[in-house]
Structure 1
Amino acid sequence: MYCRKAMLKLSMKSILEDYKCGNARLLTMLEESDDPVVKIIQPSLKTGRKCKVTEAVDKAKECFKMKEVIGETQADRRGLGSTTAKWWSKTESKEKRDMIIDEIRNKEDSTRVQKAVQQPQLGQWTNWDTAIQRSLTWNDIWHMAPLRISFLIRSVYDLLPSNANLVRWGKKDDPTCPLCQGRQSTEHVLSSCKVALSKGDTRGGITEYFKNLPRS
């Protein structure tokens, strides 16, 4: 849920990521300090086993140096000169710190995507090539009905009580769709039921979802 590349981008940040970025900023400030005492001592940060800040900073620096060796590359239909690259050797100390922090955040996000790809159910959004990413700010979340937020999150991570999921969870024996007799997965409920699409909407499948919600 912290992934910035997910189809539903929430205004949440990982505590571990912020902790690592904060220590990385502190480490780079100590390394670039003009204080002679700090230069002599060369202090090291103790950040625990899971947060290896020194290694993350070193990898970020190596990445920028390698990019400078490779040169500027273009993607998609953008031509040469359409983007301006920041070269590591030509930036000032503050810009270097910001570049390191951004690189660490990108690495953390890439790690989350890799984990999502390995999850056949929760990571199905990684295969949605034509889907449009939606971002929710705290203001959107605050003014949105709790049931709607739950529906959005559970639909992205395939946690809706579709018949296929109910069979997987041991709550039901038949995974077929009551409308078209196909396998009723989350994707089927929301966008693939031929009977619902022939009628111009998918309200039939969504209604089934609300029927399966637990009652208080």
Structure 2
Amino acid sequence: MSFKPTKSRSMVLKRGKVVDKFRFLVDGTAIPTITEKPVTSLGKTFDCSLRDTASIQATIKKLETWLSAVDKSGLPGRFKAWLYQHGILPRILWPLLVYEVTMSTVETLERKISSYLRRWLGLPHSLTSAALYGRSNKLQLPFCSLEEEFRVSRTREALVYRDSSDTRVAAAGIVVRTGRKFKAQEGLELAESRLRHKAMVGMVAIGRAGLGAIPQPRYDRAQGKERRDLVLEEVRAGVEDVRTSRMVSMRQQGASTRWEGALERKLTWNDIWKAEPQSIKFMVQAVYDVLPSPANLHVWGKSDLPTCPLCPGRGTLEHIMSSCPAALGGGRYRWRHDQVLKAVAETISSAVANNKHASSNSLREGWREATLKANTIGQSSLIGIRLGTASGLGQATQVPRICNINFFETRPGADICLFEAIPWEDRMEEANERKRLKYQELIEECRRRGWKARCEPIEVGCRGFAARSLCRAYSLLGISGAAKRRAIKSATEAAERASRWIWIKRSEKWANAAGTQAGD
């Protein structure tokens, strides 16, 4: 092995400062000083300043150059967002790991990234960053937060040093420096203390699945990689808790945190590719109530009056989507009801036709004889399902006609009414209870006349969020697994498309048949 002076670097320190007065030679060949030629190792640059300040500034400029290049590429906005997630983010994380970058610097970089993402997706500047990166939001976007990834990577670094198999590394007391706002060692200790607390509490129920239905690894029993993964997941959970508390404190943009009856929607990149760009934009703005409604325009100083264009009421998003009397009288909400009803009815009809869901459950035994009819009462859309059984084809009896409803077959068996509604997401539980009380007399009359009838109200929100009642109804009918997920997606997309059309036509008056024409 030969020594190569040109690939080596020399440095002379005098009283703590780099002195460039001396030269070292090897066989007459001078070794370059670190002042003349800074050296790069594993992506980190070492220069005569012995500081990371210049390198950090170069990293910031590099990120700005990448974002600007993507912004000027001429690609559609969702393609630009994809380039950030899968191109820029992985490349910027390594310099943030090898240099002593402070949390304040990372927060500044994330603000720049968030502004570009809002521009690419057509979202307003007022939209909170918690809406872009939240993992517990009702609407989850496929973007990763730079701040979260920085916290996780630095905590992982501190964990690797402390738990190194090399005793000399573990005993060296290496400190991961990340500034005053965030200390990796303190974050590691906090995550471990939370995990120890969870281990002391023991197993808890998650959602409605029941105690022990979803097994969770215990920190006190985990070892090696599993233990490290638990710590890092707890770091992410801590970041998410901060986002959630920020969302809860927002009256308008944080309203989705109060949707107790709504299911979460997680947008994948596949969903973004298939959806229209304007559809994604409308969905995000509607969920966080940052659409340019008359009320919002008045608050933003863009309009003199917050009045609804169709009635004297205040033109909030809730008013336009579900509470405007003029829109109700014009049939807009009824048309939206029919769009969702059609999607639900097609799902059930397909399940009946496929005849693959028979089981020992008495409500599922009669798929061979099942029939489906639909009707409406006022502004409510209803589906009547007849589940006849092989042993229940006896003598026909007179079917009750109550509230002008008569869609039961004249055969005894199990009958189910699904009452569909499109409420404002904040009022899903209220709408379910109201429907049950409204049709309780109908169900009791059916039972008095010998029918096995039950009422199952289902709700799909104005902004395309299904309630748990829809899942429960599909499970009751034997629709499960992938078929159930497709059915829920079909109903939510139908509600979202109809609401988007109502929003587009919010300033125009509809004729009685305009809704059908607009939907077609």
- Using a 3 Å threshold, how does the CA distance of structure 1 residues 52 and 142 change in structure 2: closer, same or farther? farther
Shift, 1:197, TM fit: 4.1
Matched, 1:187 2:318: yes
1:55 aligns with one of 186, 194, 211: 186
Question: Which is worse superposed, 51-60 or 107-116?
Answer: 51-60
Kindly provide the amino acid, as one letter, of the partner of residue 13 in structure 1: C
Q: Residues 189-204 of structure 1 correspond to what in structure 2 (within 5 A)?
A: 189-198=320-329, 199=331, 200=334, 201=336, 203-204=501-502
* Cα separation, 2, equivalents of 1:146 and 1:71: 45
Aligned residue in 2 for 1:82: 213
8 Å CA contact retained: 1:190, 1:206: no
For structure 2, which runs of at least 5 residues remain unmatched after alignment? 1-131, 337-498, 509-520
- Using a 3 Å threshold, how does the CA distance of structure 1 residues 48 and 184 change in structure 2: closer, same or farther? same
Shift, 1:96, TM fit: 1.1
Question: Which is worse superposed, 3-12 or 185-194?
Answer: 185-194
Aligned residue in 2 for 1:18: 149
Larger relative strand fraction: 2
Instruction: Write the deviation string for residues 161-200 of structure 1: whole angstroms up to 9, x where unpaired.
Output: 1111011112222222233432211122233334434511
Matched, 1:150 2:281: yes
8 Å CA contact retained: 1:16, 1:51: no
- Using a 3 Å threshold, how does the CA distance of structure 1 residues 145 and 80 change in structure 2: closer, same or farther? closer
* Cα separation, 1, equivalents of 2:207 and 2:271: 32
- Using a 3 Å threshold, how does the CA distance of structure 1 residues 78 and 144 change in structure 2: closer, same or farther? closer
8 Å CA contact retained: 1:121, 1:158: yes
Question: Which is worse superposed, 199-208 or 156-165?
Answer: 199-208
- Using a 3 Å threshold, how does the CA distance of structure 1 residues 50 and 148 change in structure 2: closer, same or farther? farther
Aligned residue in 2 for 1:174: 305
8 Å CA contact retained: 1:162, 1:209: no
8 Å CA contact retained: 2:309, 2:506: no
Q: Residues 63-142 of structure 1 correspond to what in structure 2 (within 5 A)?
A: 63-75=194-206, 77-142=208-273
2:160 aligns with one of 8, 15, 29: 29
Kindly provide the amino acid, as one letter, of the partner of residue 190 in structure 1: M
- Using a 3 Å threshold, how does the CA distance of structure 1 residues 87 and 196 change in structure 2: closer, same or farther? same
8 Å CA contact retained: 1:163, 1:177: yes
* Cα separation, 2, equivalents of 1:83 and 1:204: 41
Shift, 1:143, TM fit: 4.0
* Cα separation, 2, equivalents of 1:65 and 1:171: 52
* Cα separation, 2, equivalents of 1:122 and 1:77: 27
Kindly provide the amino acid, as one letter, of the partner of residue 155 in structure 2: A
SS of residue matched to 1:88: coil
Question: Which is worse superposed, 130-139 or 55-64?
Answer: 130-139
Matched, 1:160 2:309: no
8 Å CA contact retained: 1:189, 1:206: no
Aligned residue in 2 for 1:213: none
Shift, 1:15, TM fit: 0.3
Shift, 1:209, TM fit: 7.7
* Cα separation, 1, equivalents of 2:264 and 2:210: 25
Kindly provide the amino acid, as one letter, of the partner of residue 63 in structure 1: R
Query: What is the percent sequence identity of the aligned residues?
Result: 36
Instruction: Write the deviation string for residues 56-77 of structure 1: whole angstroms up to 9, x where unpaired.
Output: 1111111111122222222555
Q: What is the aligned residue count? A: 210
Shift, 1:78, TM fit: 4.2
Kindly provide the amino acid, as one letter, of the partner of residue 92 in structure 1: Q
Question: Which is worse superposed, 115-124 or 78-87?
Answer: 78-87
8 Å CA contact retained: 1:10, 1:135: yes
8 Å CA contact retained: 2:248, 2:255: yes
8 Å CA contact retained: 2:142, 2:268: yes
- Using a 3 Å threshold, how does the CA distance of structure 1 residues 191 and 206 change in structure 2: closer, same or farther? farther
* Cα separation, 2, equivalents of 1:59 and 1:170: 44
Q: Highest Rg: 1 or 2?
A: 2
SS of residue matched to 2:505: helix
Question: Which is worse superposed, 168-177 or 95-104?
Answer: 168-177
8 Å CA contact retained: 2:294, 2:316: yes
Matched, 1:8 2:139: yes
Aligned residue in 1 for 2:504: 206
For structure 1, which runs of at least 5 residues remain unmatched after alignment? 211-216
TM-score normalised by L of structure 2: 0.38
* Cα separation, 1, equivalents of 2:189 and 2:227: 12
Shift, 1:79, TM fit: 4.0
SS of residue matched to 1:103: helix
* Cα separation, 2, equivalents of 1:81 and 1:157: 34
8 Å CA contact retained: 1:160, 1:209: no
